[in-house]
Structures are given as structure tokens and as C-alpha cells.
């Protein structure tokens, strides 16, 4: 079945398809569907993708450099060739010049083996999530027809690809029945080292979402304290550190994933990083420039700030770091 929410990148649109809503298990009448002059009851016509908040897993496939459409599996030999020398002129210029420190950072993480590592870790991440869902169905004694997910959304309910953005878990109303409710799939993937942390403001902790986006702004100089006191963020960061300490998943000593998924995507798109950054281990009041993200070495210590929100942070006292010399 096609997706109910679809994107058109050429025309910068996100569109959707729906059916009239259900009432008591049946398609409702027009009178039942139309609540008032600006509200309809609908049922999405097709599948809806869900993007798990706060994590980033290796890519199974992605658009190859200079390729306008379609995806190429990371197992394809072309990726091995590309990641052997991603800054070669043959792949086309980067849309934003990459200064030397970041270029060195990326080059030390790229090699002929990283394409295979991405493919293998992507397959492992997919299998992990599949197994988690299957196990939850068994615990809940439910089938694919009766099993339900529970979703919790941040400020942004949907991304630019028409996917819902949320924390997601099995729907288990009782905390301890039929078994203790586990952490979200988001956290469980981090615990197993199958995903990297990828915290993008303002969708950090849906369980402690302020009443307005302005109140969600981290005060200057208080990022470290916020990260230590935010239960969801604290749990996610600790889970990933534990995976690193135990050499799980992407930290497998014999097959580590050195190049993070977002870095691979940026290189393939021929783009430099564009989100600003807050160091969650620092008391600084400075927003780190996108091209300096490597100054925060560990992914669990990065809080990404989309450029459209930077003026909001500046309005409460944050200062923008100067662009690095090229």
C-alpha cells in the first residue's frame, strides 16, 4: 500500500490522501464526518511512516552522489569507491566549502570498509527493531491485527518527508501488566548500540514538553544542567554510553561504524552540516557553528539547533560562533 503522506521535493510540497472517517467500525455518513465548518473526520488512505525521535540508524540505501533520484543499497560497490575518497572531484563539489579540520575529521572516518560496515549495521538495526516488535507482540499476547503502538510527539509532529516524529512503544496501559513496560523503541535501540543519538531541538522530550516553543529554549549557559535533569535525555545518553563501554552494535571492536549516518548523508548530498549545535557537557552560552560540530566528539553530547530557530536562541542571549576559516 502506498504512503498516505507523500513528499514532492521538486515542488517543495507534502501532500496526503484520506478516506472518510470510521464510526463504530463503519464508514461514517457525511453528517458524522463533518464536525463543524473547519473540521473533518478522516482515515488516512495508505501507510504512514514513523521516524523515531532522538536516534539515527545506519542507512540501508541512499541517493548516490550526483544521482537525482532513486536509492542505491550501501552494499553496492559504488559506495565502497565513494567512501574511499569522498572529497574527490569526481563526485562533484560540496555546496558549502568544508574547512580543513572538518575535512580531516571526516576523512579519518571514511574508508573502503565503511560502506560494508554501514550495510551490515543497517541490516542489524532493522533486524533488531523487528525483533523488538515481535517480542512485544508475544508479551502482549497480540497479533499484527490486534497489536497497537503508543506514540508521543514533540512540537513538530511530522518531518519534511511526511513521516510522523515521535517516541514510540508498545501500547500497554498498565505499567506492570502483563510485564513491566519497557523503555521506548527509541531508547532500546540506543541501549543495544543499534542507533546513534540524534537530538534535534525542539523535539527532545515529549513527556516534558513546555506549553510553548519559546519556553522550550534552553537558557544560555544551562545546557549541561538541563541535560542532567531531563529524565528522557539523561536515559538516552546513559544508554548509548553503556553501549559504547560494552562494545555493542556500532561499537563492535571488529567492525565499528566510524562514520555516522548523518555524515554519510551529507557527503552523498554534497552538503556540509547546516544545523547549529549546543554542547550538552558545557556551561557555555555560545551556539557552535555547523561546520565545527566535530568539536563535540560524542554524539550523545550534541543538541542540534535547526538554523530557523537560531534567532529564537539569540533573542534570549545565546551568541553565534563565528564561521571557521576555510
pLDDT digits (tens, 9 = 90+) for 107-121: 999 999 999 999 999
- Predicted pLDDT of residue 23: 86
* Residue 38 pLDDT grade (very low, low, confident, very high; cuts 50, 70, 90): low
Indicate the angle between helix axes 100-109 and 261-269, nearest 10 degrees: 120
pTM of the model: 0.92
- Predicted pLDDT of residue 259: 98
What average pLDDT does range 100-106 have in this prediction? Answer: 96
- Could you name the CATH architecture of 50-320? Beta Barrel (2.40)
Distance CA 126, CA 241 (A): 21
- Predicted pLDDT of residue 17: 86
- Predicted pLDDT of residue 255: 97
pLDDT digits (tens, 9 = 90+) for 131-161: 999 999 999 999 999 999 999 999 999 888 8
Q: Nearest Cα to 266, choosing from 237, 290, 288, 299?
A: 290
pLDDT digits (tens, 9 = 90+) for 297-318: 999 999 999 999 999 999 999 9
What average pLDDT does range 93-102 have in this prediction? Answer: 92
What average pLDDT does range 199-228 have in this prediction? Answer: 95
Count the residues in the chain: 326
What average pLDDT does range 57-66 have in this prediction? Answer: 94
Q: Nearest Cα to 87, choosing from 68, 60, 109, 72?
A: 109
- Predicted pLDDT of residue 5: 84
Distance CA 265, CA 142 (A): 37
In this structure, what C-alpha cell is assigned to residue 81? 569507491
* Residue 177 pLDDT grade (very low, low, confident, very high; cuts 50, 70, 90): very high
Kindly report, as residue ranges, where domains of CATH 2.40.50.90 are found in the chain: 50-320
Amino acid at each position: 500500500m502506498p504512503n498516505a503522506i507523500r513528499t514532492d521535493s521538486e515542488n517543495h510540497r507534502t501532500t496526503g490522501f484520506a478516506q472518510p472517517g470510521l464510526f463504530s467500525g463503519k464508514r461514517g455518513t457525511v453528517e458524522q464526518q463533518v464536525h463543524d465548518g473547519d473540521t473533518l473526520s478522516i482515515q488516512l488512505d495508505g501507510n504512514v511512516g514513523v521516524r523515531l525521535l532522538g536516534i539515527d540508524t545506519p542507512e540501508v540505501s541512499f541517493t548516490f552522489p550526483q544521482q537525482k533520484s532513486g536509492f542505491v543499497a550501501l552494499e553496492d560497490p559504488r559506495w565502497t569507491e565513494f567512501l574511499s575518497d569522498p572529497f574527490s572531484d569526481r563526485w562533484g563539489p560540496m555546496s558549502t566549502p568544508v574547512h580543513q579540520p572538518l575535512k580531516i575529521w571526516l576523512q579519518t572516518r571514511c574508508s573502503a570498509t565503511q560502506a560494508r560496515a554501514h550495510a551490515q549495521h543497517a541490516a542489524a538495526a532493522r533486524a533488531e527493531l523487528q525483533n523488538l516488535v515481535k517480542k512485544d507482540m508475544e508479551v502482549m499476547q497480540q497479533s499484527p491485527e490486534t497489536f497497537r503502538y503508543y506514540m508521543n510527539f514533540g512540537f513538530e509532529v511530522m518531518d519534511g518527508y511526511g513521516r510522523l516524529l515521535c517516541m514510540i512503544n508498545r501500547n500497554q496501559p498498565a505499567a506492570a501488566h502483563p510485564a513491566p513496560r519497557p523503555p521506548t523503541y527509541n531508547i532500546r535501540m540506543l541501549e543495544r548500540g543499534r542507533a546513534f543519538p540524534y537530538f534535534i531541538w525542539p523535539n527532545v522530550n515529549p513527556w516534558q514538553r513546555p506549553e510553548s516553543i519559546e519556553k522550550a529554549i534552553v537558557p544560555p549557559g544551562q545546557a549541561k544542567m538541563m541535560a542532567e535533569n531531563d529524565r528522557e535525555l539523561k536515559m538516552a545518553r546513559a544508554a548509548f554510553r553503556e553501549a559504547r563501554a560494552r562494545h555493542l552494535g556500532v561499537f563492535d571492536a571488529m567492525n565499528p561504524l566510524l562514520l555516522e549516518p548523518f555524515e554519510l548523508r551529507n557527503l552523498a548530498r554534497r552538503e556540509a552540516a547546516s544545523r547549529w549545535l549546543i554542547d550538552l557537557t558545557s556551561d557555555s552560552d555560545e551556539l557552535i557553528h555547523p561546520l565545527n560540530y566535530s568539536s563535540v566528539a560524542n554524539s550523545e553530547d550534541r543538541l542540534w539547533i535547526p538554523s530557523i530557530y537560531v534567532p529564537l536562541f539569540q533573542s534570549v542571549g545565546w551568541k553565534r560562533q563565528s564561521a571557521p576559516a576555510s
